[in-house]
Amino acid sequence: MLGRRYPQHALFDVPVWAQGLIAALDTFHVHMGAFWSRVSQDADLAAMYHARQGRPSIPPSLLSGVLILQYVDDLSDREAADRVCFDLRWKLALGLPLDDGGFDFSTLSRFRSRLSAHGAERYAFDKLLQLAIAAGFLRPDGEHVIDSTPMHGAAALQDTYTLVRNGLRKLLLAMGADDPARQRLAKRLKLSQYLPNRKPELDWGDPVARQAHLQELVAAAERLLREARAARLPEGSEAQGAQALLEQILAQDITDDDGQPTIRRGVATDRVISTVDPEMRHGRKSASTRFGYKGHIAADPESELITEGTVTPANTYDGEAVETLLDAQQAHHGLQPRAVVGDQAVVDAQRRHLLATRGIEAVGKVTPHRPEGRYAKADFAVDVAAGRVTCPAGHTVRESRAKVDGAGATWRVFTFPREVCAGCPRRAPCTTATRTGRTISLHPDEALLQEALARQQSPGFRKRYNRARATVERIISHLTRHGLRQGRYVGRAKTLFQALWVAAAVNLQRLMGLICARDGAKALGMGTWRGRKAPPVAPRGIRIVTLGS
């Protein structure tokens, strides 16, 4: 049953007893204490609770505020529950009295699960954006900047031996309805050694021992897979998912070498790197920095508010998140930016085409390919509409052929005649081809690329682009300070939950700053106690000592 917070003031309210100490040192918690009650109401999440049955819950507006503070300070559930009990700043920010005893730390995990189960994982993020739009800080048709950042997954990266062993164990456990059934199945298939979750005693420095162990692992996995296929596991069951995972691990990591299983060289496309979190993928920022997910954000450079966020596996190309971000902010808040600013991955040719179809200006750099010591395509006069290309020497070619690339896109290829290039005085800095003349390939969206090249030569482009890029880098740095870079939970959906609540925490700080700068601190809903020079009036018979005075 829904528990509610009551606005009536009590004797042990923190603002009465500790106003000087907290107000003088920590404006964030002071402002949040005044502002959060305007953002979060218990009635907002009433649908998550039964109307009459059960004990009253801890008020969801309180738990939502705790989650915000937890991500602001980047704390574990246990640490956050402790802060609710003994930290005066948290009590002030949450509107709790001094004698509030808090709650068990497991309540936070259950509350997150309840939010996700009822589709309310975006609750705080959406509430703050709605308030920002209503207050006029965020224009529905403003300019947005998009960027991404690595996120380390909560699960550890596993080698091939661990992947096969854990995948085998996962399927073995899923196929047994209870422990006795698992024991019988493992004994019949001679897999009892894989029921405990421990590494084998092996001399890992001996290549012969490693090969023998790999052969044993693969043979055991294939026995179990034959049993699973014969059992025809229920569609959509946990066991069927474990079967598909083990099959993928063997296909991606194991190859046959003269009848002996060996570890495949190289990295397979879309390779699973963990059985704990099968949605993680390989991503590299550098030779020594690997990560499992990417966080993508869209932000408004004027207000510096985050307008949308999403999470993808680390091997996802940055540009693929652009459409997801645009669709989500349109669906949830009616935001349709007039322009999108991004790097070359965000506003590549494919994304420029997508944005053009939506009437959105793409603002980003186009770096022309310049062969060392030779003319680049930019040195040729390309008329896409007329279908002709003119070289620096003045020769024009109009005939072209079609070429389909690996992504299925059709390019137009213009090839200058061999005899024209052979006698050209500018041949040396143009081409080294012997069988043909110089070749120029036009992208399917070449017109958009040519337009972008011309636009980035304008005087205001560099200032506009650099300002937006500096803003989004600053926002990502802010998100990173609050724990976005390190995933807390297993799975993309839970990692997205974390990203949205970290973004909500950053937006809360920014929005309170905007309101204070424009309307003053009292506009946050603060009482007059903070501005008083004299201590507040105490009930009869009680003497109040203002801390920090």
Phi, psi of 397 (to 5 degrees): -125, 135
Q: Give 268's pLDDT tier (boundaries 50, 70, 90).
A: confident
Total count of residues recorded for the chain: 549
Say whether pLDDT at 12 is over 70.
no
Domains of the chain, by residue range, sit at: 1-120, 122-157+283-363+456-519, 160-263, 377-445
Higher pLDDT, 199 or 115: 115
Tokens of 78: 């246990």
Half-sphere CA count of 122, side-chain side, radius 13 A: 14
Encode 236-291 in three state secondary structure: CCHHHHHHHHHHHHHHHHEEEECCEEEECCCCCCCCCCCCCCCCCCCEECCCCCEE
Q: Determine contact, residues 129/303, Cβ cutoff 8 Å.
A: no
Alpha-carbon distance 463 to 469, whole Å?
Answer: 10
DSSP, res 48: G
List Cα–Cα distances, 452 to 14, 362, 446, 449, 533, in angstroms: 57, 8, 10, 5, 59
Whole-number Å distance between alpha carbons of 520 and 508: 16
pLDDT for position 539: 36
Containing H/E element for 125?
helix 123-134
Q: Identify the three-state secondary structure at position 465.
A: helix
Is there a contact between 494 and 111 (Cβ–Cβ < 8 Å)? no
pLDDT of the residue at 540? 34
Closest to 35 (Cα-Cα) out of 385, 423, 468, 512: 512
CA distances from 159 to 112, 166, 377 (A): 32, 11, 45
Domain 122-157+283-363+456-519, CATH homologous superfamily name and number = Ribonuclease H-like superfamily/Ribonuclease H (3.30.420.10)
The three-state DSSP-derived secondary structure of 148-180 is EEEEECCCCCCCHHHHHHHHHHHHHHHHCCCHH
The pLDDT of residue 5: 67
> Cα dist. 151→73, 309, 399, 485 in Å?
18, 13, 48, 5
Q: For 118-172, what is each residue's pLDDT tens digit?
A: 999 999 999 999 999 999 999 999 999 999 999 999 999 899 999 999 999 999 9
Task: Report pLDDT digits (tens) over 436-463.
Answer: 899 999 988 888 888 888 888 888 899 9
CA distance 222 to 109: 38
pLDDT of 25 > 70? The answer is no
> For the chain, what is the radius of gyration of the CA atoms?
30
- Count other Cβ atoms within 10 Å, centred on residue 202: 12
Residue 530 has which token pair?
A: 């903070």
| Per-residue pLDDT at 511 | 94
pTM to 2 decimal places: 0.86
